[in-house]
Amino acid sequence: MTGTRRRIRLLIRKEFLQLRRDPLLLRLLFIMPVMQLVMFGYVVAADVTHLPTAVVDLDRTPVSRQLTSEFAASDYFTVTAHPQSETRLRPLIDSGQAAIAVVVPEGTQAALNRGEQAQVAIVVDGSDSQTASLGSGYATGLIANFNATRLAGSGADAALGSAPGLDARVRVLYNPSLASINTMIPGLVAVILMISIMVIMSQAVVRERESGTLEQMFVTPIRPVEYLVGKVTPYALLAAAQMAVVAAVGLLWFRVPFHGNVLVVLTGLGLFMLTCIGLGLLVSLVSHTRAQAQQAVMFLMLPTMILSGFIFPISSMPAAVQPVTYLIPARFALKVMRGATVKGAGLVDLAPSLLALAGYAVLIFGGAVLATRRRLTE
């Protein structure tokens, strides 16, 4: 028994010594759980707050202005636009400047004064079914409270069905059934593309370095540029084929409607693919073992999945966290995929997201290529 305990102690000591010789892996093991706790603690929430809201006030009366003030004062809504007509709503929603709109038709106060109900339209963007469902619920609840306050102030009985008040009518754009699968599948295409490319590319250089074939390869006349092109091209082609298969399954099996332009989708996914390839290469360069590369990929995946808006709506995140989401390239890829697929948004509407993806592609993929060339020529 004494010999057994001694051998176990020696093995435990050996494992700790190996971990100490691998500082990157050791740091990741301690940082990752803390990062998970902080992110899930702050980001996971059931409420959606500060929804960008457009108010179309066609009545321009004290009642309509008071209703607008109620929406502006609520933590659930942030009034960002006051379009002059309902026809200007769709461009605002397509570009993401508004996620919900309130339309107060002309003659609203006159109808209330006559003791009649007046309809108020609540227009929501169905491309994010969770946000649309919660936002429409908050809006109808706010209008119900507005009715109760107004009737109480006038001395009327709010319980009477004949009491005059505002009647909120919800209208959903792009995804009338609010089926979550219609918004989930386009996002999954981008997420699966990211996961597959980063997992494979993160092993690309480190695997050859571990086996010793990298040094043998550069004894041959091959140049760093040729090595890079030959290394990246097969994975890019595989990713494109995988993306096509996933998209076909989503459209044909799950019956997800496609309302957009194929060129817009391919442009967005192509830029995002370059970004993912660049991230995978950078991980492979800084990692000395495949275990390190796997941990580093998981470390990058965690904020990407949580902060991109794929699982949790960005509008439900704390105000201090929302600016951080602009550092996540997947946020813009999801916006392009959902905007083009569900809304049918075009290049003009999605230009900010496409430009952001282009910037990340140049920065990350270009940086990874330069870093790889430098490492290979050392």
Q: Is the pLDDT of residue 328 over 90?
A: yes
Of residues 235, 260, 262, 278, the one with CA closest to residue 365? 278
Tokens of 320: 């201090």
Residue with tokens 């996961």: 195
Of residues 237, 243, 242, 245, the one with CA closest to residue 266? 243
In the prediction, which pLDDT does 310 show? Answer: 85
Q: Is the pLDDT of residue 347 over 60?
A: yes
Within a domain: 338: yes
pLDDT digits (tens, 9 = 90+) for 141-159: 999 998 888 877 665 554 4
Q: What is the DSSP string of 50-79?
A: SEEEEEEESS-SHHHHHHHHHHHHSTTEEE
Q: Using the 8-state DSSP alphabet, how is residue 87 labeled?
A: G
CB of 281 closer than 8 Å to CB of 201: yes
pLDDT digits (tens, 9 = 90+) for 274-286: 999 889 888 888 8
Residue 160: pLDDT band (50, 70, 90) is very low
Q: pTM of the full predicted structure?
A: 0.77
> Given its phi and psi angles, is residue 255 left (phi above 0), alpha (psi -120 to 50 degrees) or beta?
left
Q: Which of 121-125, 246-250, 262-266, 355-359 has the highest mean pLDDT?
A: 355-359
In the prediction, which pLDDT does 267 show? Answer: 93
Q: Are 358 and 240 members of one domain?
A: yes
Q: Is the pLDDT of residue 29 over 70?
A: no
Q: How far apart are CA 18 and CA 311, in angstroms?
A: 37
For the CA atoms of 112, 114, 115, 118, what is the dihedral angle to 10 degrees? Answer: -40
In the prediction, which pLDDT does 290 show? Answer: 78
Q: Are 223 and 280 members of one domain?
A: yes
The half-sphere exposure of 213 on its side-chain side, counting CA atoms within 13 A, is 7
pLDDT digits (tens, 9 = 90+) for 106-130: 999 898 888 888 899 999 988 888 8
Q: Are 83 and 211 members of one domain?
A: no
pLDDT digits (tens, 9 = 90+) for 55-87: 999 999 999 999 999 999 988 898 999 998 888
Within a domain: 29: no
Tokens of 213: 């074939």
pLDDT digits (tens, 9 = 90+) for 161-183: 445 688 899 998 888 877 788 88
Residue with tokens 């997201």: 353
Q: Are 152 and 71 members of one domain?
A: yes
Within a domain: 5: no
Single out the residue in 155, 173, 191 at which a domain terminates: 173
Within a domain: 242: yes
In the prediction, which pLDDT does 158 show? Answer: 45
Within a domain: 95: yes
Average pLDDT, the chain: 81
Rg from Cα positions in the chain? 27
* Tally of structural domains, the chain: 2
Single out the residue in 122, 148, 173 at which a domain terminates: 173
Of residues 242, 249, 232, the one with CA closest to residue 190? 242
Within a domain: 15: no
Residue 50: pLDDT band (50, 70, 90) is confident
Q: Is the pLDDT of residue 52 over 80?
A: yes
Q: Are 185 and 122 members of one domain?
A: no
Q: How far apart are CA 183 and CA 339, in angstroms?
A: 9
Q: Are 236 and 371 members of one domain?
A: yes
Name which residue leads in pLDDT, 369 or 34. Answer: 369
Residue 96: pLDDT band (50, 70, 90) is confident
State mean pLDDT over 14-29.
64
State mean pLDDT over 191-195.
87
Cα 157 to the center of its chain, rounded Å: 46
Cα 230 to the center of its chain, rounded Å: 32
Q: Are 142 and 252 members of one domain?
A: no
Amino acid letter for position 370? L
Q: Are 328 and 361 members of one domain?
A: yes
Within a domain: 131: yes
Q: At what angle do helices 180-202 and 204-211 cross, to 10 degrees?
A: 30
In the prediction, which pLDDT does 42 show? Answer: 59
Q: Are 214 and 81 members of one domain?
A: no
pLDDT above 70: percentage of residues in the chain: 79
pLDDT above 90: percentage of residues in the chain: 23
Within a domain: 218: yes
Q: At what angle do helices 351-360 and 262-286 cross, to 10 degrees?
A: 30
Could you tell me which residues come within 8 angstroms of residue 312 by beta carbon, excluding any fewer than 6 positions away? 43, 44, 45, 306
User: How long, in residues, is the chain?
Assistant: 378
Q: Are 192 and 315 members of one domain?
A: yes
Q: Is the pLDDT of residue 22 over 90?
A: no
Single out the residue in 126, 158, 173 at which a domain terminates: 173
> CATH no. for residue 160?
3.40.1710.10
Residue 234: pLDDT band (50, 70, 90) is confident
In the prediction, which pLDDT does 32 show? Answer: 61
Q: Are 164 and 207 members of one domain?
A: no
Q: Is the pLDDT of residue 37 over 70?
A: no
Name which residue leads in pLDDT, 146 or 202. Answer: 146
State mean pLDDT over 238-244.
81
State mean pLDDT over 340-357.
90
Q: How far apart are CA 264 and CA 275, in angstroms?
A: 17
Could you tell me which residues come within 8 angstroms of residue 371 by beta carbon, excluding any fewer than 6 positions away? 281, 282, 285
Q: Are 219 and 344 members of one domain?
A: yes
Q: Which domain holds residue 96?
A: 51-173
Residue with tokens 């290394």: 231
End-to-end CA distance of the chain: 52
